[in-house]
Amino acid sequence: MKILVTGAAGFIGMHVCKSLLKSGFNVVGIDNINDYYDVNLKVSRLEQLTKFNNFKFYKLDLEENNGLDDIFKLHEFKKIIHLAAQAGVRYSLENPRAYISANIDGFMNILEAAKEHNIEHLVYASSSSVYGSNSLMPFSEDQNVDHPLSMYAATKKANELMAHTYSHLYNIPTTGLRFFTVYGPWGRPDMALFMFCKSIIENKPIDIYNHGQMQRGFTYISDIVEGIIKVMHKPATPDTNFVGDNSSASTSSAPYRILNIGNSESCPLMDYINSLENILGIEAKKNFMEIQPGDVKSTSADTSKLDSWVDFKPTVNIQTGIMEFVKWYREYYK
């Protein structure tokens, strides 16, 4: 089977590709290698993949659509794992148009390609950010998600709506995965653990927003990858019990599904920082600040639907995950 993974040079994309390649799948990766963060890190991730004979890479901007149809014709994919996106809640306040271009236009082109080339299953990245101002935790896929707090969250909600439209009109099985604060080796430099680790090692203060009164369903990368691949193998199907207004928001009469992937045990931010301090053996200098626009105070995932659908739930604990990240960070940055 030949699988397309978009965002292959990204944090999650690289890990997904590597797992698929080790399992013997033929993988085609697409990424535009933009400079949102350190390009060298993206190149290093790609080097982890180009060691495999069953990997092919294309540098491509999905929103421009140049050459995308040719790639689909050449490789005859059966399944797509769409992870390419403009990430980052805070950057969406500075450059909202980048999110429309990458996350809306880019996804539109993937949906069109899936329609034209009879794709058996499209799995795509959504985000826990869609829960916005919801306060009832853990977050369930059945909750209303019509109050996003950032343009990033709004584009992810839009992706879910776009996917449903194509599932309904063209019978394309689509599954949206709402990721909850993913962390681990090869992570993005703009994410909390990476920034905290770098600053602590360099004896610089760390910025802690909302005076530390935050908590997250921190989810280790291996749990995310396993969940993605299990879901990939089980295409969405129509919900035979779907009756419109009185049904689950996570299914449909179309082959469409929305699933949370995250740690159901929400971890206070200060506990997360304390674990990092203990593993590094260094106490952080802390700069407590007000909450930033677009930030959500708490997240926690109800993963019962994921467990029911593919018999999986995340299990890696915070201490193990942070230890693995620190080990990678020290090795990669010498």
Write the pLDDT tens digit of every residue in 231-271: 999 999 999 888 877 668 899 999 999 999 998 788 899 99
The domain limits of the chain are 2-180+221-262+300-314
The pLDDT score that the predictor gives to residue 275 is 96
Lowest mean pLDDT among 52-56, 111-115, 122-126, 206-210: 206-210
pLDDT tops 80 at residue 283? yes
Catalytic annotation present for 333: no
Residue for token pair 């760390």: 206
Q: CA angle, 307 as apex, 304 and 308 as ends, to 5°?
A: 85
Spatial separation of the C-alpha atoms in residues 334 and 331, rounded to whole Å: 5
pLDDT tops 90 at residue 307? yes
Spatial separation of the C-alpha atoms in residues 311 and 305, rounded to whole Å: 9
Write the pLDDT tens digit of every residue in 176-192: 999 999 999 999 999 99
Q: Which two tokens stand for residue 20?
A: 């698929």
Residue for token pair 């053996």: 281
* This prediction's pTM: 0.95
The pLDDT score that the predictor gives to residue 137 is 86
Average pLDDT over residues 279-283: 95
pLDDT tops 80 at residue 311? yes
Spatial separation of the C-alpha atoms in residues 246 and 152, rounded to whole Å: 29
Spatial separation of the C-alpha atoms in residues 277 and 284, rounded to whole Å: 7
The pLDDT score that the predictor gives to residue 246 is 66
Could you check whether the bond before residue 138 is cis, i.e. omega within 30 degrees of 0?
yes
| Strand residues in 7-97 grouped as ranges (E) | 26-31, 55-59, 79-82
pLDDT tops 90 at residue 93? no
Average pLDDT over residues 201-209: 94
Does the domain spanning 2-180+221-262+300-314 belong to CATH 3.40.50.720?
A: yes
Residue, of 329 and 243, whose pLDDT is higher: 329
Cα 151 to the chain's mean position, in Å?
A: 16
Residue for token pair 């294309």: 58
The pLDDT score that the predictor gives to residue 1 is 85
The residue from 152, 220, 272, 329 that is catalytic is 152
Spatial separation of the C-alpha atoms in residues 11 and 8, rounded to whole Å: 8
- Quick one: DSSP state of residue 298? B
